[in-house]
Structure 1
Amino acid sequence: MMFDLTDHVVAVIGAGSGIGEAVAHACAEQGARVACLDLDEAAAARVAGELPGEGSPHESARIDITDADSVASALGALAERQGHLDGVVCTPGVNVRKPIVDYTPEDFRKVVDVNLNGSFNVLQSAARIMLPQKSGSIVLFASIRAAVVEPGQSVYAATKGGIVQLAKAGAAEFGSAGVRVNAIAPGVVETPLTAPIKASPEWYGAYATKSALGRWAQPREMAGPAAFLLSEAATFLTGTTLYVDGGWTAIDGRFQPPGMG
């Protein structure tokens, strides 16, 4: 029963689509009562209505992670209604692919505001609820771009590296109260964010062949690791970044030297 989330209250931010939607389903399948939170309230409500569970135990609400008050209000209201908050998963992210010299101040602020400021707001508000109850697990979403980059990914990569450091700092500050903080770093995943890449066969294929598994991930392949980090199976895991990247950051190219089969 180490992976069981029965009686856990879990807030999944970004639950209206992509990885967040898959995480919400995975948590519900493990028995959690899931709050689907998203900027798109209608999408969050749709997902909440589709989750498994007896007696419709799930709920939904709007959240804007760039607004600290919105985050505090949504998570605080959830904890008050349910009596506790056991897990928070923050999945939203945006990217503006441009060379550094072409970036505008507006581009910079957009990416930093959602990815880094938004993750900080979630981390802070979740911790303010979990520290007094002396338990809880917070899962932030970073990226392989926290470790490796390519042209056009400067600000996105910087924010994802910042999320890794936020997870470490949160782990250091909250650990004595029994609150854990970890990050997941996906590789390339088929989501609305990566739709422009999928539309280009050459680009899509190049990314597929970069990983050791030779393919893209599906959103559900990020959901299992998130549910794991929320569960009793991960009680001694904190301050870590779990690379769920199909081996992208493990291998150095795909060339097979002579004599290697």
Structure 2
Amino acid sequence: MSDENPLHLFDLTGKVALVTGATRGLGRAIAAGLARAGAHVVVAGRSKETAEKVAAELAADGTRTSALELDVTRPEQARRALVRTAGQHGSLDILVNNAGVIERHPAEAYPADAWHKVIDTNVNGTFFLTQEAGSLMLTQGHGRIVNIASVLAYSGGRNVVAYAASKGALVQVTRALAAEWAGRGVHVNAIAAGYFATDLTQDLRDDTTRSQALLSRVPAGRFGRPEELIGAVIFFASPAADYVHGALLEVDGGWTAA
């Protein structure tokens, strides 16, 4: 047995990581965590100014960050952004697909434009960005892709039919890509995130009745904190997960276990 400190398995020093939707909520926490683990983190967001602001704030802790304007629903922009990022930094080692939207409407009255907005962002945008990133990584011979899915990939939820459908699709995209790319050096895995205290759940948390009903089903009895997702992302992005492909890890306070 090696006497080497196993913590080195989680060291991301020298790696380049791009995190989508990184200007707030889970994305910002993930970006900060990857940076503290040693990676150069590219903070990607639809607003260039906001991405630059967040990157500067994270860099104030002494970490290495940069900003990137990126709208995942615009494939050509995404392709150029990825090529530029890889060119500037010499590689693209890690992609965290965190960008996502949710629209709440009763299923029988779900607007077509709301459906398309959710699917275009959470499924189409994520896939085409991953396709571009995967092509770069396959050429390099290595890479880590982490998709942020949801426990709603398992349970339907109310008034979120498009979101539930999109996260279920993302899980299957993860598995299909892992089956194709595992033998070529590219790892694709996903996290089924539970209910976290972010702006996406603000309305839910503000509704005392709905919030209490939800938390009664969560064994941990509370909403997750964004920083509690960091460990799972670092695991998938690091050498600790060298033999992990197509996995779905629940980080949900026990929701799926109950």
Question: Do both proteins adopt the same fold according to a TM-score greater than 0.5, normalized to the shorter chain?
Answer: yes
Instruction: Tell me the CA shift for residue 57 of structure 1.
Output: 3.0
Cα distance, 1:97–1:77 mapped onto 2, change above 3 Å: same
Q: Find the counterpart in structure 2 of residue 62 from structure 1.
A: 69
Alpha carbons of 1:150 and 1:46: their partners in 2 closer, same or farther (altered >3 Å)?
same
Matched, 1:182 2:189: yes
Is structure 2 residue 141 aligned with structure 1 residue 143? no
Partner in structure 2 of residue 24 of structure 1: 31
Q: In structure 2, what residue type is equivalent to 1:16?
A: T
Match of 2:82 among 57, 68, 75: 75
Q: Quick check: 1:39 aligned with 2:46?
A: yes
- Distance in 1 between the 2:57 and 2:67 partners? 11
- What is the match of residue 105 of structure 1? 112
Counterpart amino acid of 2:145? I
TM-score normalized with structure 1 length? 0.92
Contact 2:36/2:63, CA 8 A, preserved across alignment: no
Letter in 2 for 1:196: D
Name the residue aligned to 2:128: 121
Q: Which residue type is aligned with residue 110 of structure 1?
A: K
Q: How does 1:205-224 map to 2 (within 5 A)?
A: 205-224=212-231
Quote the residue 2:97 is aligned against. Answer: 90
2-structure distance, mates of 1:210, 1:42: 39
CA distance in 2, matches of 1:142, 1:172: 18
Deviation at 1:52, TM superposition (A): 4.6
Deviation at 1:93, TM superposition (A): 1.4
Q: Which has the higher helix share?
A: 2
Q: Quick one: structure 1 residues 17 and 55, their matched pair in 2 at CA, closer, same or farther if it must change by over 3 Å?
A: closer
- Output the CA distance in 2 between the equivalents of 1:94 and 1:66: 11
Task: Report Cα offsets for 1:93-139 as digits up to 9, x if no partner.
Answer: 11112222101211111111111111112211110110011100001
Shift in Å, 1:53: 7.7
Distance in 2 (alpha carbons) for counterparts of 1:11 and 1:112: 22
Using the TM superposition, name which of 56-65 and 109-118 deviates more. 56-65
**Matched length:** 251
One-letter amino acid of the structure 1 residue matched with residue 187 of structure 2: R
Unaligned runs of 5+ in 2: 1-7
Give 3-state SS (helix, strand or coil) of 2:192's partner.
Answer: strand
Q: Percent identity?
A: 38
Please give the alpha-carbon distance, in whole angstroms, between the structure 2 residues aligned to 1:185 and 1:55: 30
C-alpha distance in structure 1 between counterparts of 2:48 and 2:67, whole Å: 7
Q: Deviations over 1:130-187 (max 9, x none)?
A: 0011100001111000011222122111110000000011101111211000111111
Residue 56 of structure 1: how far off its partner (Å): 6.2
Residue 255 of structure 2 corresponds to residue 248 of structure 1: yes
Secondary structure of the corresponding residue to residue 79 of structure 1: helix
* 5+ long unaligned stretches in structure 1: 252-261
Cα displacement (A) at 1:11: 0.5
The residue matched to 2:92 in structure 1 has which SS? coil
**Aligned partners of 1:25 and 1:51 also within 8 Å:** yes
* CA distance in 1: counterparts of 2:190 and 2:100, whole angstroms: 14
User: Contact between 1:67 and 1:121, CA under 8 Å: does it hold in 2?
Assistant: no
What TM-score do you get using the length of structure 2 for normalisation?
0.93
Alpha-carbon separation, structure 2, partners of 1:229 and 1:53: 26
Does structure 1 conserve the Cα–Cα contact (< 8 Å) formed by 2:23 and 2:45?
yes
Report the CA distance shift for 1:130/1:157 in structure 2 as closer, same or farther (over 3 A).
same
Of 5, 10, 17 in structure 1, the residue corresponding to residue 17 of structure 2 is 10
- Indicate how the Cα distance of structure 1 residues 247 and 37 shifts in structure 2: closer, same or farther if over 3 A, else same: same
Secondary structure of the structure 1 residue equivalent to 2:146: strand
Letter in 2 for 1:166: V
- Could you tell me which residue of structure 1 aligns to residue 5 of structure 2? none
